[in-house]
Amino acid sequence: MAALGWLSPRRRPATARSVLAGEAAAEAARKTSRQLELLDRAEREAEPDVEFPVRGDVRAAAFFDLDNTVMQGAAIFHFGRGLYKRKFFQRRELARFAWQQTWFRLAGVEDPEHMQDARESALSIVKGHRVSELMTIGEEIYDEYMADRIWPGTRALAQAHLDAGQKVWLVTAAPVETATIIARRLGLTGALGTVAESVDGVYTGRLVGEPLHGPAKAEAVRALAAAEGLDLDRCAAYSDSHNDIPMLSLVGHPYAINPDAKLRRYAKEREWRLRDYRTGRKAAKVGIPAAAGVGALAGGTAAAVALHRRRR
């Protein structure tokens, strides 16, 4: 049993190396805290001097992508999970939905094949069901799987536009019924989404046109702006995906929210504003260093300084 003595907890005196480790950790913590304070100050100073959104500007509006911008993950996958619970389809289809959702969350970018597969699966699942039935179920699914996945930071941005008296729209490839439920629950104006064909209130299993994705989103925003009498140069748009660059480029105030790598690079080149809520940090402009990078640099520097002092 003596050979297993190392498994038993016991007090050990502090060695020179443990003292060094403690000093380095403490100094790194202090330096990291200071660096984050400086970063926060830089973010505040980088904010524009002009009021935005402009209160009472009724010719301005805001357009928000849904998946990974307003909500963590993809709405259609959460919807599929709820339908499985209600026995709309079998376990093997749920496994495919789960894998696609996991990939989307980890990669932070849309896979066109995954999204197309999810849409086709959803269309086949709802075929023959009444629109009113799916709307009722959609309300329940929102409470079960979506309500807790709304990014608070993005929700606050949308609320700022609402408080300024502006309309706020979701623009998404998700089914328009699902998007409308989410918009209403969040107190937004409405939603633009993919339209599934129905006859006499029953889904046929086909789309009207194509999914509202990429350039189609920009066309939807352009059409809505014309109908609502909006000035797109005074409007804002928010998205996480490079697929939405056409929509973001359409407005005077584009924001990259939780951006994928391609959108981050594109936004940096054009000095678009960025908000990243995945780490709990935000940066007023893409050019500001990420907090994680600052922390790592500060920690490494502190450890080196402490080691140098001990050796001297």
Output the pLDDT for position 33.
67
- Measured from the Cβ of residue 127, the count of other Cβ atoms closer than 10 Å reads 14
Residue 41 lies in a domain: no
Q: Is 163 annotated as catalytic? A: no
Q: Which of 40, 49, 57, 65 is catalytic?
A: 65
Q: Is 65 annotated as catalytic? A: yes
Output the pLDDT for position 76.
84
In tens digits, what is the pLDDT along the chain, a chain of 312 residues?
Answer: 544 444 444 555 667 776 777 777 777 777 766 666 665 555 555 554 457 898 999 999 999 999 999 999 889 888 888 888 888 876 555 555 554 445 444 444 555 555 555 556 567 778 888 999 999 999 999 999 999 999 999 999 999 999 999 999 999 988 899 999 999 999 999 999 988 889 999 999 888 878 888 999 999 999 999 999 999 999 999 999 999 999 999 999 999 999 999 999 999 999 999 999 986 544 434 333 333 333 333 333 333 333 344 444
Phi, psi for residue 282 in degrees, rounded to 5? -135, 155
Is pTM, for the whole model, over 0.75? no
Residue 36 lies in a domain: no
Residue 161 lies in a domain: yes
Number of domains in the chain: 1
Residue 95 lies in a domain: yes
Output the pLDDT for position 295.
32
Q: Which of 67, 240, 260, 276 is catalytic?
A: 67
Q: Check which CATH number belongs to the domain holding 73 and give it.
A: 3.40.50.1000
Range of the domain at 182: 61-280
- Measured from the Cβ of residue 137, the count of other Cβ atoms closer than 10 Å reads 20
- The 8 Å CB, 24+ separation contacts for 177-181 are 177/131, 177/134, 177/135, 177/138, 178/75, 178/76, 178/79, 178/138, 179/66, 179/75, 181/135, 181/138, 181/139, 181/142
Residue 3 lies in a domain: no
